[in-house]
Structure 1
């Protein structure tokens, strides 16, 4: 008997305790298959063998009716007794090698994995697929730490690019995060998830058929985007830098005409300055750190700034909710990982943000960008951290670093310093404008993030242009302020700085810009 061919796209894992009370578990299985579920695992931790076998036979009758494979969780005896297509085992259950010996070569065998080492061992031990998790927090398990798409990607990249081992993500997978999980976890070795395993999102849904339909649509969309990522398709067809620079004056004109509303979840130290800077440039800020109003605000704001300078549980909760809803509304998210490498809390918060949403633009100094690179698995030179500042001169090749991060995250990356760098993974520029006093007042970097957010709000199709305009506008204002006769030092500079943002003329973004294009790719 040949091993069954399995489509892992939407993989239902049952749980009687979480099954919706309006129907039986068997009905949930049938409804989910009608909605597009391609594989079913019967997981019943609390049933004895006889009761498990009785339930498994009922479920098998349904799965066979629709030609969908059935796997049994952690009970090889039941799998063999009913003639199921295979089994799934955990790391603390029977070994993969022993399970394969008992099942034989023609059954499907899967194993749970949570580290690259476990994934590599599963491949060596003869598994047909691995369940990678836990992705997000879930009702079925309480893991010490979730992987998120970044952790899943790390595991995918630990596997050979070309072999028959299939990969499935599990843990907190729902229709509103499936697309991002699948697309964002695509590995640099070309691997993209072969499926998503779902428990509560299907069996706990009011309508299991509809829930399954949505999940299948989102999985297919995520896989298509993931394949485009690994094949480089997302980075093709972008306009030349010279053409982008010509648009900068009009961006400032449009910003002042539309005065877009930007949601700031920012730190207390600079909140007043970032609000005033946004107003001076022509935008409109709202400083709202409550998660309760973030969903409503996402419908009316034009962009969102996440600044982790002030870290409280309520601020972080608001950031996660605001970012998720901004993604759903198609509003750009700008992430300012202030002091990301200074403490474990800041690093973990940055990781949570990058895992839970798509960030359109990341802005940070060299130390912060180094931490981001480490979090997402980009190899760069290490930079020590002191508070929110980096030590030393920075990266030996900053342009290459931010280009690599931008490609890996499919976003725009801005690295601030004596020279500022901006890259979208294809186009990279260095901006030489600015004044030394910008580095001698608190919050100048946070102001840059706010400026970028305002420009991103009116440039939804080119965040690269928005990032350049946002950095350049602030740097030109800094130059103009620093050169004023009435500026005697950082204190007088701060007030003049805001004035010059308001006084900035659109044409100056072209005539006074000191921008060099950096060619990193042939």
Structure 2
């Protein structure tokens, strides 16, 4: 018998202890296969070999009925006894080489991996596929750390693009994170996950068939997007930068007419400033750092700002919940990773947000963007941080840095400084407007994030335009404020800055912009 051809798209891993009590495990498996499960692994940690073998025979009868391969977890004796299509082993179990020797050449063999080194070894040792995890926190395991899409991507990129070994991700995979996980883990070497391995999301679901159908739909949509096969879900073609600039006056008019509501999870130091800046520009802020109301707010707000300036457990929890619900409601999420490179906590929090939330626009200074570049695997210079400010020189090629991070994270990146740079991975510009007083008051960068969020709320199809307009609007307000005769330094500038946001004319965004296309 030759080795079976396997579709890894939706890979069910069973757990009797988590199975929905409304049905038996066998019913759960059959319903899930009817819904689209393409591969089943029977995992029963608490059964002895005899009981495990008896259950495996029953399960195999179901899977063979639908021509779906069955793999046995960690027990090669059971796999051989029932002539299962293969087995899966963990890092602490039988070695891949020994498992292959026992199973023979015509059985499917998978192994759990959590690092690039383990993945490369699995390839060298002859595994047919690897289970990459743990991706997110899960009920079935208590991992010391989770990989998230960023960690999964690092493992995919450790494998040659041409390698035949397949890859699946496991750990906390559910319908609401499948699409983002697959898209954001895609490697620059062209490798994309071959499947998602799911436990609770199927066996614990009220309807295993529906859960499997939804998972398969989300997985296939993500693969189509990454591979370029998706037409319906692809964004409209990008407008040229000059066409974007011509629309800035109408964007400001629309902002003031609609006054979109923006949910801010911001830091205590600048909360009043960012709220006032949002109001002055024409938007409407709500400062709500409680996770308990994030879901309700996601239905009425038009955008969300995640600002990590004040790091408390409750703030971070709220950011993760608000980001998740904003993603579900297709509302733009703006991340302001304040001081991301200053402490290990801030760096870890930034990574956690990027792993759990699809961020549409990242706004940061050079040090913060350098930290994110490192987190997501873009090679660049390190930029020193002092508190929340970057210090020393900037990037040798800032335009390429923001472009690389934007392309890597499939979002817009805005890097602020003496010159501001914005890129969506294809279009990149430098903004030369602004005044030095903006860097001499607390919160000017946070106000820019709020401004970007307001423009993103009324520019849902072009976050690049929103980021450029948001920065430009506040930079022009800064120039106008500094030119006033009543401004004598940073203190008087602060009040004038807010005034000039309100006084900004739509045509100013076109007539006074100093923007270079790079």
Q: TM-score, normalization: structure 1? A: 0.98
Contact 1:186–1:229, Cα closer than 8 Å, also in 2: no
| Aligned match of 2:35 | 35
Once the two structures are superposed, the pairs formed by residues 185-264 of structure 1 within 5 Å of their partners are: 185-228=185-228, 237-264=237-264
User: How do residues 142-157 of structure 1 correspond to structure 2 at under 5 angstroms?
Assistant: 142-157=142-157
Give 1:237 shift.
Answer: 3.2
Write out aligned runs for 1:105-116 (5 A): 105-116=105-116
Give the superposition deviation at 1:357. Answer: 1.3
Instruction: After TM superposition, list the pairs within 5 Å mapping 1:325-404 onto structure 2.
Output: 325-404=325-404
**Contact residue 260 and residue 454 of structure 1 kept, 8 A:** yes
Query: Offset at 1:222?
Result: 1.2
> Offset at 1:11?
0.3
Residue by residue over 1:244-273, the C-alpha shift from the partner in whole angstroms, topping out at 9 and shown as x without a partner, is: 100011100000000000000000000000
Q: CA deviation at 1:236?
A: 8.7
Shift of 1:228: 2.8
TM-superposed CA distance for 1:384, in Å, is 1.6
CA deviation vs aligned residue, 1:63-92 (integer Å, no higher than 9, x gap) = 000000000000001000000000000000
Alignment check: 8 A CA contact 2:480 2:500 kept = yes
Asked whether the equivalents of residues 364 and 414 of structure 1 are also in contact (C-alpha less than 8 Å), the reply is yes
* Aligned residues of 1:26 and 1:59 also touching (Cα < 8 A): yes
Instruction: Provide the residue aligned with 1:455 in structure 2.
Output: 455
Deviation at 1:234, TM superposition (A): 6.4
Partner of 1:164: 164
1:186 and 1:227 in contact (8 A); partners too: no
Where does 1:18-97 land on structure 2 (aligned, <5 Å)?
18-97=18-97
Q: How far apart are the structure 2 equivalents of 1:167 and 1:495?
A: 56
1:271 aligns with 2:287: no
Does structure 2 conserve the Cα–Cα contact (< 8 Å) formed by 1:255 and 1:458?
Answer: yes
How far residue 491 of structure 1 moved from its aligned partner, in angstroms, is: 0.4
Helix, strand or coil: the match of 2:101?
helix
Aligned to 1:99: 99
For 2:398 and 2:228, the matched residues in 1 are separated by 26
**SS of corresponding position for 2:181:** helix
Residues 79-124 of structure 1: CA distance to partner in whole angstroms, max 9, x if unpaired?
0000000000000000000000000000000000000000000000
Shift of 1:235: 8.7
Conservation of the 8 A alpha-carbon contact between 2:235 and 2:461 = no
Residue in 2 that maps onto 1:12: 12
C-alpha separation between the residues in 2 aligned to 1:141 and 1:465? 43
Query: Is residue 337–residue 363 contact of structure 1 (8 Å, CA) maintained in 2?
Result: yes
Shift of 1:229: 9.9
Where does 1:401-416 land on structure 2 (aligned, <5 Å)? 401-416=401-416
**How many residues are matched?**
517
2:130 alignment partner in structure 1: 130
Q: Report whether the alignment pairs 1:480 with 2:480.
A: yes
Tell me the residue number matched to 2:297.
297
Answer yes or no: is the 8 Å Cα contact 2:245–2:510 preserved in 1. Answer: yes
Q: Structure 1's 68 and 100: CA in aligned 2 closer, same or farther, altered over 3 A?
A: same
1:377-424 CA deviation, whole Å, 9 max, x = no partner?
A: 111111122111112121000000000000111111000000000111
- Is the CA contact (8 Å cut-off) linking 1:367 and 1:385 kept in structure 2? yes
C-alpha displacement at 1:343, in angstroms?
0.8
Distance in 1 of aligned mates of 2:116 and 2:43: 25
- Counterpart Cα distance in 2 of 1:384 and 1:495: 31
Separation (CA, whole Å) in 2 of partners of 1:388 and 1:177: 31
Secondary structure of the structure 1 residue equivalent to 2:222: helix
- Out of 383-392 and 161-170, give the one that drifted further: 383-392
Partners of 1:96 and 1:162 in 2: CA distance: 21
Residue pair 1:3, 1:107 contacting (<8 A) in 2 also: yes
Question: 2:493 aligns to what?
Answer: 493
Q: Give me the whole-angstrom Cα distance separating, in 2, the residues matched to 1:265 and 1:229.
A: 36
TM-score by length of 2: 0.98
Answer whether contact 1:235 1:426 (CA < 8 A) is retained. Answer: no
Shift of 1:226: 2.1
Deviation track 1:164-221 (CA, whole Å, cap 9, x = no partner) reads 1000000000001001111111100000000000001111111111111111111111
Secondary structure of the equivalent of 1:264?
Answer: strand
Q: Does 1:441 align with 2:404?
A: no
Q: Distance in 2 between matches of 1:113 and 1:45?
A: 19
Equivalent residue for 2:428? Answer: 428
Deviation at 1:26, TM superposition (A): 1.1
2: distance between equivalents of 1:246 and 1:346? 38
Q: Secondary structure at the match of 1:176?
A: helix
Q: Distance in 2 between matches of 1:244 and 1:190?
A: 31
In 2, the alpha carbon distance for the partners of 1:133 and 1:378 equals 22
> Against the structure 1 CA distance between its residues 208 and 352, is the aligned structure 2 distance closer, same or farther, given a 3 Å change threshold?
same
Contact 2:236 2:461 in 1 (8 A): no
**Cα distance in 1 for residues equivalent to 2:206 and 2:294:** 26
Please give the residue correspondences for 1:495-510 in structure 2 after superposition, counting only pairs within 5 Å.
495-510=495-510
Deviates more, 1:75-84 or 1:237-246: 237-246
Unaligned runs of 5+ in 1: none
Corresponding residue SS for 1:64: helix
